[in-house]
Structure 1
Amino acid sequence: MTERIRALLDEAVAGVGPRSPDPVPEVLRRGRARRRRLAVAGTAAAVAVAVFAVGGIVAANRGTSGKTPASRPSSEHFEATVSGGYVRTGGLAVPIPPGWPVIQDKRLTYCEVPANVFLVNVAMTDAPCGPTRHAFVGPWRPYGTPASVAELALINEVVLPGGQPLWLSGNELANVRAAPSASVNAPWAAASISIRGQRPQVEALLRGITANPVPPARLTLPETSPAVQLSVSAEKQLTSADPAVIEQVRALLAALDQPVRPGELPCPGATKVTGTWKLAGTDMAALTFTDPIGHLASAEVAISAGDTCAFATSSLGGRVHLPAGFLGRVEQLLGGR
């Protein structure tokens, strides 16, 4: 890591801190009793077909194209195509189980969902029926609520061939390992993927997920954000709405200049999830930015908690190596101890 980044880290932690009491943590504390439980087999993703209003985005990657792709997917206008036995969206391809028909762009109750179908951008509403065997691809966005940042589960990351990440919460990771249901997220495609079925069907679908390869790149970050929250654990969230603090946090991330190269992840000794999947990152802290218009969560950066094989991945694109102690410095900047 360059001396410039080290100096920037030291200067930010030493010279900047929250300047006034922040009302957002109190909102979050009141919401802890309602901590979201991530649903099995795509329920959460299917119900929450919400608008994702993203503010200005700036590419921190000056080593590759230097620009954010104009066609970056968002859950506001989720589009997917079905071709060659796959559901495709934003460079993501999810295999359709043999013989399963596709239902696309509809709103259904659970009672109206037949068994053995592939749902694409289908909003499901509650009904007195048990879940059927089905697969789902639909919109994903960082979890957030107006005027605050929602408490987030920690992130576990799998790296697909070609470099794109899949993110799983702790609950989702447990479900993937157990089957007969699984749910994973492709943040760069703004897509959520889930399946409920027989274990061979679940494993075949997960194994068949592919993505267009991406070159190594520095982190793409929001240009502005009225609030940020760092979820370090289920019991520890640090939040700030101080513009100076937010800019310092963003500057630390933007200065990281060592993209992760192909083959560097997962590191030796990585934990197997299922099939050929291994965890590149486990229980990574989630740094969430809100957008300046709707104050919904607009982007997440997953940050390794340890110093061994440490890296950070942005939901907007890019993955970089981290210097020792990076997460601790971000915690200090946000008022942590």
Structure 2
Amino acid sequence: MTERISQLLNEAVAGVEPAASDPVGAVLRRGRSARRRSALMAAVVCAGLAISGVVVGPRLAGGPGVGVAAAEPEAPYVDGRTVVAGAVRLPIPDGWRAATSDQPCADTSRTILIRVHDNERCGTSAVEIFSTPVSSVGGAVTNFGSQVIEGGVVAPPALVTLQGGEPGWLERTSGREDAPHPASWLALPWSRVKFLFRLDSAAAGEFIASMRSAPVGAGTLAVPRTAAIADLVIADASGGVRPEDIGRIRAPETIARLLGLLRDQEDAVADAEACAGATQATAEITIKAVEGVPWGTEPSPVPGPSPAAGPRDTTVVVIALGGDCQEAVSSHGGRVRLSAETVAELKNVYGIGAR
């Protein structure tokens, strides 16, 4: 398992060699040892980047409600030796500093930079934090010849679980080719922040494994009541996308079937029971209020209860596939466990056969 995690991070920061053969694995082993010492754990909890399974627990007390992500979280800030970004706390390592981008640059190779929009004086650091609604992670475009989605698709991200239960979408491929150093993205849709790591795989893994969270998006999936178009892209555990695993639907009755299927999933996953990890294949459903909305636009702030989706609303659901942990996470809030039958029905909605 740890070999796959290292491979994923190596792909994200291709061209830079890690300092140790498997430092990410060491981090995960330390996390597993700490969990074994805790008698309070009733389930196997994901730590750092990934874990293969989880003990199935009861539904949320009193029955699940619809998950709600942070509507307008406080801008990231520094609290002593910790950076607070949404529901996530990132310890500042020894020898590092945290600063906002309106301050002068100083040793950017060991700076955690909180990006602000006004008077940016420093724009490049080893770690950067962006406060933004999250409807995508980004990545390399593939399947340019697709007859289903014109212009190609971006492979779905890996779905990972931070300490505490916050879901994260980890880019599977390298970042901007014009950047001075390879880069990888980690998006936290519930906290509405993105992390950019201009680091090798070892250092990026250390940062991700050190994050602690207290999510606010638990519950069933928050999805819009209606939509004009919905795309499905399925990737294997390495990020590969086959032409037959790309789907697009427009017919109102098919859209209604999709949204009804997502809305009907009531096996909400409590934070301590979350298990999605980087070793799994993933699927990504992008639901748009109107066709022609540019890829990567902001998600709707009020999905489920609204009478109709707004003209630029986008909702994204990322699903971890296979093994003992099949979870779906909505960008607006909510995480549910999916059965193999539900995944098969989801594919049937798009006319995609079993893999």
Match of 1:323 among 331, 334, 339: 339
Checking the alignment, whether the CA contact within 8 Å between 1:180 and 1:199 is kept in structure 2 is: no
Classify 1:250/1:196 alpha carbon distance in 2 versus 1 (closer, same or farther; 3 Å): same
- Distance in structure 2 (CA, Å) of the matches to 1:106 and 1:93: 22
The TM-score with structure 1 as length reference comes to 0.60
What displacement does 1:194 show?
2.8
Question: How far apart are residue 250 of structure 1 and its match?
Answer: 0.6
Paired residue for 1:313? 329
- SS of the counterpart of 2:352? coil
Structure 1 position 285 matched with structure 2 position 269: no
| Unaligned runs of at least 5 residues, structure 2 | 1-10, 15-60, 118-122, 139-148, 176-180, 236-240, 300-313
2:223 partner SS: strand
Alignment partner, residue 54 of structure 1? none
- In the aligned structure 2, how far is the partner of 1:215 from the partner of 1:142? 15
Q: Which residue of 2 aligns with 1:247?
A: 256
The 3 A distance-change label for structure 1 pair 248 and 307 is farther
State the match for 1:332 in structure 2.
348
Please tell me whether residue 88 in structure 1 is matched to residue 84 in structure 2: yes
Unaligned runs of 5+ in 1: 1-37, 42-60, 124-130, 174-178, 267-277
The residue type paired with residue 224 of structure 2 is P
Number of matched pairs: 251
Tell me the amino acid that sits aligned with residue 96 of structure 1.
I
Equivalent of residue 121 in structure 1, options 115, 138, 152: 115
Structure 1 residue 288 displacement after superposition: 1.0
Residue identity over aligned pairs, in percent, reads 24
Paired with 2:173 and 2:137, the residues of 1 have a C-alpha distance of: 18
Map of 1:258 onto structure 2: 267
Q: Distance in 2 between matches of 1:305 and 1:226?
A: 26
Q: Distance in 1 between matches of 2:255 and 2:230?
A: 7
Partners of 1:149 and 1:229 within 8 A in 2: no
Q: TM-score, normalised by structure 2?
A: 0.57
Instruction: List per-residue Cα deviations over 1:79-103 (Å, max 9, x = no partner).
Output: 2222222222221222333343444
Q: What is the CA distance between 1:328 and its match in structure 2?
A: 2.6
Offset of residue 63 of structure 1: 3.2
Displacement after TM superposition at 1:209 (Å): 0.8
Moved >6 Å (runs of 4+): 147-150
Q: Deviations over 1:9-30 (max 9, x none)?
A: xxxxxxxxxxxxxxxxxxxxxx
Shift in Å, 1:197: 4.3
Distance 1:164 1:322 in 2: 18
Alignment partners' CA distance in 2, 1:170 and 1:199: 12
Question: Are the equivalent residues in 1 in contact too, given 2:65–2:220 (CA < 8 A)?
Answer: no
Contact 2:171–2:185, Cα closer than 8 Å, also in 1:
no
In structure 2, the CA distance between the partners of 1:91 and 1:334, relative to structure 1 (3 Å rule), is same
The amino acid of 1:283's aligned partner reads: A
- The Cα shift of 1:317 comes to 1.7
CA distance in structure 2 between the partners assigned to 1:151 and 1:329 by the alignment: 23
Q: Structure 1 residues 213 and 243, CA, compared in 2 at 3 Å: closer, same or farther?
A: same
1:208 to 207, 210, 226: 210
State the alpha-carbon separation in 2 of the partners of residues 152 and 180 from structure 1. 18
Q: How does 1:110-149 map to 2 (within 5 A)?
A: 114-121=108-115, 134-138=126-130, 139=132, 141-143=134-136
Which residue of the partner structure matches residue 238 of structure 1?
A: 247
- Can you list the C-alpha shifts for 1:235-267, whole angstroms capped at 9, x where unaligned? 33111222221121011010011112455443x
Q: Which AA in structure 1 matches 2:284?
A: A
CA offset digits 1:95-117 (Å, max 9, x no partner): 33334344425599xx9984322
CA contact (8 A) 1:230 1:239 kept: yes
What RMSD, in angstroms, separates the aligned Cα atoms of the two structures? 4.2
